[in-house]
Structure 1
Amino acid sequence: MDCPNPVVYADMMKRFSKTLNKVLLAYADMVHKDFSKFSSNEKLACILMNNVQQLRVQLEKIYETMGGQELDPTCSQVLTNLQKKLNSVLDKLSGQFVATLEPMIHEQTNKLGVLLSKIKGPQLQKTQVAALLKQLPNAKIQDVTKLMSTNIQNIKGMSSVKDMMDMARECERSLTPKQCTVLDAALDAIKECFHAGGQGLKKSFFEKSPELQSLKYALSLYTQTTEQLIKTFITSQKQQDLPSQEQPVGEVSVQVDLFSHPGTGEQKVTVKILAANDLRWQTSSVFKPFVEVHLVGPHLSDKKRKMATKSKPGNWAPKFNETFHL
């Protein structure tokens, strides 16, 4: 609207923004109240959600047409709040719609579990991989590792109890490379489905999703060798040489020598525990400090993995001078 009088123009913009706010919120509220009647109908539910989304898109265009950043602060605040309210309504509608899909998602997850259990392939190394996975602090990754076992053990309609038990035992093992390939392909298919050839969600949204990154990381743990996992873990520990800032309990002086056997080429490690200093420990009984040495890694089935020094009762700066040959 062109108006030579800036005062009249500003007043009209305020009136228009308030009217726009009233009309769009009334429509959004109407859709929100009646959405539960249509949420079970996927097509109608998507149409209604898309209508609210289009309100947000058209509101953004109207904002730019009205002047954008140069718009009166009062009008701008009304339209900004309106955009936030519409976004909140859209979130609530999406939540209701997703709730109706949960039973179908659980059903399809169970079917996927059955299909994966039928895919045979060579098993991966399990002992070290399982130990590493159990120590992972990320709860989502732990949930992924338990997903197959949890769902398959709850599958109903098996022909016999024996079949169900056999399937449950099978799921407790590590995923095979073929199963990992199937899951990876399923992830790509899901992304393409929601991307909808550019009409749906952006691919960058998926790549930034913490859930997807956690799942991909969990799959990578299954497909990498134990040696590669250990190397990755070691290279990621970049702060190990810095003093701990979280409840330090003291310092240990250690000497480590690594060499190869001249005859067999076998790697040997010598660890010498020299002393401990600046110990900080609260105890009501006699203080008995000692140092434990743990050996981790592949090909250790014939090796002793844990050794300990003798304790030094009542000594807060003990000198050990004990050597371990690994």
Structure 2
Amino acid sequence: MALRLVGWRCSVWAWSRAGGYPGFVQVGKDRRMSHSDRVSTVPWAGWLLGLMVAGWITASCSSDDEMFGPGSPGTGTGGSATSSGQAGEGGSSSTSTGTGGSSASSGTGGGGGGTAGAGGTPVGNGCSDGTREYLSDAVLQPNMTGCSGGFSIAGVTTPASLQPACGRVAGNDSINPTGTGCSVEDLCSEGFHVCHGAVEVAEKSASGNCPPSPISSPTFWLTRQVQNDQGSCSQPPNTNNLTGCGTVGSPPPSSCLPLDRFLRYSNCDNSLSWSCGSLQTMFQEAALVTKSAPSEGGVLCCRD
């Protein structure tokens, strides 16, 4: 309203400066043109010019929104998801919400478990025919046992005696109780082997020695232990005597403990099952020994 009043006054001012309406002087009842109007060369030209100027000024001064023009709404630039956008020029501040980020895709699941490995060879109870004859309780003696049976491949120190030769089809309860075509190693099951000697028996026996065998059953349980020519327990290449546990034969020297029996060729001559040479080969029993029947014992087998 105040600006409109100012515009009106601007118009009046412009009009009056341009000459306004022609002036009149009251003379009695007669209105006469003033002296200034009478002497004007073009009395109405100034009035028309003033009218045009007044119109132009009025248009310029008419109102606040005509003077400055309508404000255009500012467009604020959207801010991030956590802040407000700033207002554009001439506009009011606007709050914008940014577009949320896309959710992360889940990772690819790991591959399945690896291919199962092939199972190892099952470990038997110590004897290839599945039955224990000496140290028969596998719970009390899990690492050593005695297995009855025969074998025809000679020796406990020879290369041929170190590996199974008949697929472990041997033992007193097998289809091959005499051990035809078998070595001493065939009498032990998978996971066991013929005990090496005194040191291993001390380690694998639950009692650390040779448990007693029944006196009523003459048996001998062979190991790979050998003696030298003087009768002391030693290592190959000596091949003298057979040494192990049992009731057949003689007590060995102290160097052979905990083993408690050994056989000479003469002891084998008196056996129905054991054969280990003669007088001429009296120091080679460990290389010549065979066993033709399942009776009178067999071999000591220790866990691998």
TM tier, smaller: under 0.3
Higher relative contact order (CA 8 A, sep 6+): 2
Please identify the structure whose Cα radius of gyration is greater. 2
Looking at secondary structure, tell me which structure has more helix per residue.
Answer: 1
- TM, length-normalised to structure 1: 0.15
